[in-house]
Amino acid sequence: MPGYHYSRVEPTPVPDPHLLAWSDDLGAYLGLHRPPERGPAVEALAGNRVTDTMKPFAARYGGHQFGSWAGQLGDGRAISLGEVTATDNSTWEIQLKGAGPTPYSRRADGRAVLRSSLREFLCSEAMHYLGVPTTRALSLVATGDIVVRDMFYNGNPRPEPGAVVARVAPTFIRFGNFQIMTATGEMDNLRAIVDYVIRHHYPELGEPSPEVYLRWFEEVCRRTAVMIAHWMSVGFVHGVMNTDNMSILGLTIDYGPYGWLEPYDPDWTPNTTDFGSRRYAFGQQPHVGLWNLYQLARALAPMVENVEGLNQGLEQYRTTIAATQHQMMMRKLGLTAQAEEEDRALIERLHEALAESQVDMTLFFRRLCHVAYDLVANPGNEDGLFQDLLAAAGYAELGSQQQPLIDWLHRYSNRLRQESVGAEAIREGMLRANPKYVLRNYLAQQAIEAAEAGDLSFLNRLMEVLKTPYDEQPEHDDLAAKRPAWASDKPGSATLSCSS
């Protein structure tokens, strides 16, 4: 679609739209009330009803997919309805994913299945409550139609129930929106979208100019670094960090084959499409973020007089992600800045020891909060504390492979006792930095299977628990359990793909 930023398109109606899930907090923020299961509002959220004030469109963009330029991509099944004004006067775009074909669908049907839609709805909101910069999700609507998908692209397509998720963000503009303009030589269109983004989403930088373009790119780099540092802090793996899946606002966008580290493994990815190269594995995410920003810099180069100035933004990314990751890890460990070099060495060794010991990342850090309290308040039983910790968080029998982590815990114990605050203050600070509840893939899969059978109780319970992931909520301890053996190789629980 050369020459255009977007295409006007009408959603395609579905036979039986009915509400499955609604984000009460986001709805209240947008000034919207939870609608009945069926009715005009749900018809709008499914794409069956387009009001006079809606201006539905699908955006055009390109992108690098798994490191290779893919050319024009675009919203192949996402249709934006327009913007609404929230209670604080900020504006938010509402986008329907799975609402039918667009000019960018590339011979696809433009639909989405309940499986992927429920995962996106849940994870968008779960990430928000974890404190991770993210797009949001307002509603999940079943469509009443059947969509055929080959989950792992292995020649085994099957019919699945369809659904539409209403995604919400200040904008869904991504790196690829700029890349496609430069790739096709549309310099006027490139300048138009850059100026639009600066005026509407970065107005504090001033009126667009070559100097402001550089400051803007630097801020995009900073925000992207902060976002990825948050991912690393909670053990989140995006799974498909293509440049068309990178928000220009530094928000987590496009929840596809994501997952959380369970056995700590820097080389782990949930995405079967990436098993060959593991380009988007957990430990690679900071490097891929920089690579993606470099591609954005190449796209923006025609806009700036001093192309070398774009390097300042890339350096901003490097320094920001390193500093932010360090600060977050210090909070997770209950430590304050004292001896920076020694603390950096302590943290670096922790990552190595975690990988060697195969412990559950979320469980390890959450239980460490209470171990830290005992180390300060009741010293003297370190070995017993450490054995209990590894038994609770480990996926393997206690043995020699846990020794590096036990050695690290002794080193950590000595460092922790250098803190001046009391045991209770240390524990409380750590509990605010280490979530007890994350959206483990096996939990999402259980919610999917129940919803497909018509039971929404598990989905609703999971949603409520994930709203306060740092609270104990002891009545829901089963949702904080490490991955059960049956889920270690189950499709949807251990492995996913880009198919939805």
Residues 218 and 257 occupy one common structural domain: yes
Q: How many Å apart are CA 76 and CA 196, to the nearest integer?
A: 23
pLDDT in tens, 400-418: 788 999 999 999 999 999 9
pLDDT in tens, 33-78: 999 999 999 999 999 999 999 999 999 999 999 999 999 999 999 9
DSSP string of 304-356, one letter each residue: -S-GGGHHHHHHHHHHHHHHHHHHHHHHHTT--SS-HHHHHHHHHHHHHHHHH
Residue 493 lies in a domain: no
For residue 391, the SS3 value is helix
Residues 77 and 226 occupy one common structural domain: no
Quick one: pLDDT at residue 182?
A: 98
Long-range pairs for 489-492: beta carbons < 8 A, 24 or more residues apart? 490/442, 490/445, 491/151, 491/152, 492/115, 492/151, 492/441, 492/444, 492/445, 492/448
Q: Going along 361-459, which residue ranges are E strands? A: none
Residues 201 and 162 occupy one common structural domain: no
pTM: 0.96
Q: Quick one: average pLDDT of 114-130?
A: 97
Instruction: Read off the amino acid at residue 302.
Output: P
Residue 290 lies in a domain: yes
How many CB atoms sit inside 10 A of residue 115's CB? 23
Q: Residues 16, 88, 244, 407: which is the catalytic one? A: 244
Residue 292 contacts by C-beta under 8 Å, 6 or more apart in sequence? 64, 175, 224, 241, 243, 246
Higher pLDDT, 381 or 254: 254
Residue 480 lies in a domain: no
Residues 203 and 222 occupy one common structural domain: yes
Residues 415 and 308 occupy one common structural domain: no
Residues 185 and 157 occupy one common structural domain: no
Residues 23 and 107 occupy one common structural domain: yes
Q: How many Å apart are CA 443 and CA 215, to the nearest integer?
A: 42
Residue 145 lies in a domain: yes
Residue 411 lies in a domain: yes
Quick one: pLDDT at residue 313?
A: 98
Task: Give how far Cα 334 sits from Cα of 230, 257, 389, 470, Å.
Answer: 17, 32, 17, 15
Would the pLDDT of 398 be above 80?
no
Domains in the chain, number = 3
For residue 270, the SS3 value is coil
Residue 49 lies in a domain: yes
Residue after which a domain boundary falls, among 379, 398, 431: 431
Residues 149 and 248 occupy one common structural domain: no
DSSP string of 220-254, one letter each residue: HHHHHHHHHHHHHHHTEE-S---GGG-BTTS-B--
Would the pLDDT of 500 be above 60?
no
Q: How many Å apart are CA 355 and CA 476, to the nearest integer?
A: 28
pLDDT in tens, 10-31: 999 999 999 999 999 999 999 9
Residue after which a domain boundary falls, among 124, 148, 169: 169
Residue after which a domain boundary falls, among 383, 399, 431: 431
Nearest CA among 71, 73, 91, 93 for reference residue 82 = 93
Residue 452 lies in a domain: no
Residues 111 and 247 occupy one common structural domain: no
Active site residue 52: no
Q: Quick one: average pLDDT of 442-470?
A: 97
Would the pLDDT of 95 be above 60?
yes
Residues 137 and 236 occupy one common structural domain: no
Would the pLDDT of 188 be above 90?
yes
How many CB atoms sit inside 10 A of residue 82's CB? 15
Residues 225 and 309 occupy one common structural domain: yes
Quick one: pLDDT at residue 499?
A: 59
Residue 71 lies in a domain: yes
Residues 315 and 357 occupy one common structural domain: no
Q: How many Å apart are CA 35 and CA 42, to the nearest integer?
A: 7
Q: Which domain range does residue 341 map to?
A: 335-431
Which residue in this structure is represented by tokens 């907090």? 25
As annotated, the binding site for Mg(2+) includes 245, 254
